[in-house]
Amino acid sequence: MSLFRIAQISDIHITLKQNETAEGIDVIANFNRILDQVVSWAPDLLVLTGDLCFTRNDVKAYEYVKGKLDKCGLDYIVMAGNHDKSAPLAKAFGYSMTGRDLYALRDIPGYRLIFGDSSRHRVSSPHLEQLRSDLQTALKPVLFIHHPPAKAGVPFMDRKYPLINMDQLQEVLYTYPGRVPVFCGHYHNEKEFSYGNLDIYMTPSTYFQISDQTRDFAISSRNIGWRSIELSGRIETEVHHINLP
């Protein structure tokens, strides 16, 4: 089986307004640092797993990100997070909607890449049924979705902003007879853990990271990162960090 390389970037929270983001963090500079590293790695596909905007549904942020991605020369897919709205994002990037969901498939040798929509903090019933059908394949499924499909040991996010119907998503994913790798973001934290037949890979934000040691919100680090994924019959993945002053 040939090697297929994917780069994942998550939770970039772009704003073009000065002094809008917390802690004085330059989200545009952070995104560009990460994108430069990704371009140098030259993946077959770049996936942005949601939260393109700082302010919910900022069309100017979508336009900025699209301009940067179009110029970088990489094949890419952009997904919606809870800071986004699926329909305006789809319009900005020229994507088609599946009902109210921004849902897509891509089959590559040996694998079915599934790009889900949890932008409303839940996975819709039509989306779940489509996913159930799409898992009936001889190809190995790989799911990309903004929210982790299980509690992840980040107390603030687990308590305040989890995927509302994660049990329903789990039930559908459990219908697949093998392991299902899930690549996600949302929690602003880097973790890898298994839950049932799910191998869950959380990718850090390019904004800041949220502490997994405190019940209430706390920034644990301003360092940023992105994830490389190599599919070749097995999965090899690594988070690449950029330490900021």
Give backbone dihedrals phi and psi of 76, rounded to 5 degrees, phi first.
Answer: -145, 160
Helix, strand or coil for residue 106? strand
For residue 177, what are the contacts with CB-CB under 8 A and spacing of at least 6? none
Cβ atoms within 10 Å, residue 8: 24
Nearest partner of 201 among 160, 156, 145, judged by Cα: 145
Q: Which domain holds residue 74?
A: 4-242
- CA dist 115 and 80 (Å) reads 10
113-143 pLDDT, tens digit each: 999 999 999 999 999 999 999 999 989 999 9
What is the count of structural domains for the chain?
1
**Per-residue pLDDT at 19 exceeds 70:** no
Those residues with Cβ within 8 angstroms of residue 146's Cβ, 6 or more apart along the chain or in another chain = 10, 49, 50, 51, 79, 80, 81, 82, 116, 117, 118, 119, 184, 185, 186
Q: Residue 244: which pLDDT band, with cuts at 50, 70 and 90? A: confident
- Average of pLDDT values for 81-104? 96
3-state helix, strand and coil shares in percent for the chain, rounded to the nearest 5 = 25, 30, 45
Given a contact cutoff of 8 angstroms between Cβ atoms, the answer to whether 50 and 119 are in contact is yes
**In the predicted model, what is the mean pLDDT of residues 164-190?**
98
Over 80: is that where the pLDDT of 21 sits? no
Lowest mean pLDDT among 17-21, 42-46, 90-94, 98-102: 17-21
Banded pLDDT at 22 (limits 50, 70, 90): low
* CATH number of domain containing 76: 3.60.21.10
Give the pLDDT of residue 214: 96
- The backbone torsions φ and ψ at residue 179, rounded to the nearest 5 degrees and listed phi first, read -75, 145
The pair of structure tokens assigned to 148 is: 């982790």
Residue 34 identity (one-letter amino acid): I
Residue with structure tokens 């994913």? Answer: 173
Give phi and psi for 143, each to the nearest 5. -100, 130
pLDDT tens digits, 68-80: 999 999 999 999 9
CA–CA dist 241, 221 (Å, integer): 11
By the 8 A CB rule, do 157 and 191 touch?
no
